[in-house]
Chain A
């Protein structure tokens, strides 16, 4: 099915209704596999079992950034093409992305306590991710403040595009500044610096979380479309009654 056809909310709803059960099943299977892999993965020779926190931390970071990236693309869709689903996607992605960003921060902080000796340091990577969370919360607040959804969409779209400047800062913060957070160790020139026995479970876990993200996003978009229909019906009802 072409993406153009999905622009029709009714078509999108029927697509989502069909896709969500399959995606949920795929997510469940992926998690069953990934959790097994994560359990059998060996402990690190220095970090011990705490290395396994990474199986939550890295997907959280990746999906927190992916969420804002998707919202930026959707924002362009709202402003440039007036795509009717773009603002639905942007609104639905914000709380999910915020939740994954929070997961990244919380797991990182729990790992930092035994490893660095502190829950939090004001290091460039940690700070820029915290700013990302604040940006998420700001966008969510904006969505909730403006009553008319299409108006809220356009205001949120501009804020999203301006906020996207934080994404490269997060990515390159470990190169630009001397941080306590380790530098890039998965996607780097010269190959990853993580042993395959941990790297492969990490990839599988990330794939499972990404499947979860897509499933939640589709379900949230479906809910948002239905919520808007309810709102329109209520408005019609109210104007008919008066």
Chain B
């Protein structure tokens, strides 16, 4: 097994075994969505209109969940030093860790989204569009989050700071993700326009995220 594959398997194993595993993210997602009708009132027409936005916001918050421990746990047990000294390029190792994080927190949400969407009166077409936008958009959330996780690695109470640092940077992903999901349901913009920009944001974050996170880790651990 190559070092990158080993890292991927290790991180996924940790994510599944520690702290409730992948389902805790889905549970959080479900709770956030459930709270919304309590705050807004059970008006199904209104919920249908703002459903994609609620699901996207919930996904954004859920993606932050395991992020603060992503490097901090490795820092605490010393494996981060080994990773930094290892021969595998740090950027690729970080990308592998990001992929593992996405597979264990992002992917379960995407699978659950259409079902949770039923609570918000989303029909099959809207559910499919939402699933597609989440599938394309959530990797960007993880990979932008990597930067914050790397910056906050040695901090006490890093989790709170992480949210403050990362959330402003995720605004474009949120805008175009919700725009694309809404475009599929109500129009008038064609679905392709915001969707291709969302794809571009994700591709850019796949490159920028690992490099910036690697730079931050090298600086922090000096």
A residues engaging B (CB < 8 A)?
Answer: 79, 127, 131, 134-135, 137-138, 141-142, 145-146, 151, 154-155, 157-159, 161-163, 169
Q: Which of B167, B169, B172 contacts A163 (CB 8 A)?
A: B169
A159 to B161, CA, bound (A): 12
B residues engaging A (CB < 8 A)?
Answer: 147, 150-151, 154-155, 157, 161, 164-165, 167-169, 171-172, 208, 212, 215-216, 219-220
A154 to B151, CA, bound (A): 9
Residues of A within 8 A of B171 (CB): 127, 131
Closest CB-CB distance, B30 to chain A, in whole Å? Answer: 28
- The answer on a CB contact under 8 Å between A145 and B151 is no
**Besides the known contacts A137-B164, A142-B165, A151-B220, 5 further A-B residue pairs in the complex with CB atoms under 8 A apart:** A138-B164, A146-B154, A155-B220, A158-B212, A163-B169
A217 to B161, CA, bound (A): 26
A137 to B165, CA, bound (A): 9
Chain A binding surface, main DSSP class:
helix
Residues of B within 8 A of A135 (CB): 168-169
Residues of B within 8 A of A127 (CB): 171
Q: Could you write out 23 A-B pairs with CB less than 8 Å apart?
A: A79-B219, A134-B164, A134-B167, A135-B168, A137-B164, A141-B165, A142-B151, A142-B161, A145-B155, A145-B161, A146-B154, A154-B219, A155-B151, A155-B219, A157-B219, A158-B147, A158-B150, A158-B216, A159-B147, A161-B212, A162-B147, A163-B168, A169-B172
Most buried by A among B147, B168, B172: B168
Q: Which of B155, B168, B219 contacts A138 (CB 8 A)?
A: B168
A137 to B212, CA, bound (A): 20
- The answer on a CB contact under 8 Å between B220 and A154 is yes
Closest CB-CB distance, A165 to chain B, in whole Å? Answer: 8
Give the 10 A-B residue pairs with the shortest CB-CB distance, closest first: A154-B219, A134-B168, A155-B151, A158-B216, A138-B165, A138-B164, A131-B168, A135-B168, A131-B171, A162-B212
Residues of A within 8 A of B167 (CB): 134
Residues of A within 8 A of B168 (CB): 131, 134-135, 138, 163
